[in-house]
Amino acid sequence: MPTLPDETALLPDLDLTAFGLSSLGIVQLLMQLEHAYGVELADEILDFRLFTNLGKLWAALSGCMATGSAPTPGQA
């Protein structure tokens, strides 16, 4: 999985695919995030676009952590 350069600011509009995040990388990242935060994102919201924007990804994870389940597609 690619890594971000040290000087990269983690801003909500950061596009991870611009740094080489591939479909395999998305699966790996998803598994790591779910394990690290003890949540499981619902299949209904899993879409590659979720991983192209840090703000959307964090919103989905935050929703899972707050409610114990993933937000509905319109919320992510």
- Segment 10-67, tens digit of pLDDT: 899 988 888 888 889 888 988 998 888 888 888 888 888 888 888 988 888 888 877 6
pTM higher than 0.85, yes or no?
no
For position 73, what pLDDT does the model report? Answer: 44
State the Cα–Cα distance between residues 11 and 72, nearest whole angstrom: 23
Residue 1 banded pLDDT, cuts 50, 70, 90: low
Q: How far apart are CA 10 and CA 1, in angstroms?
A: 17
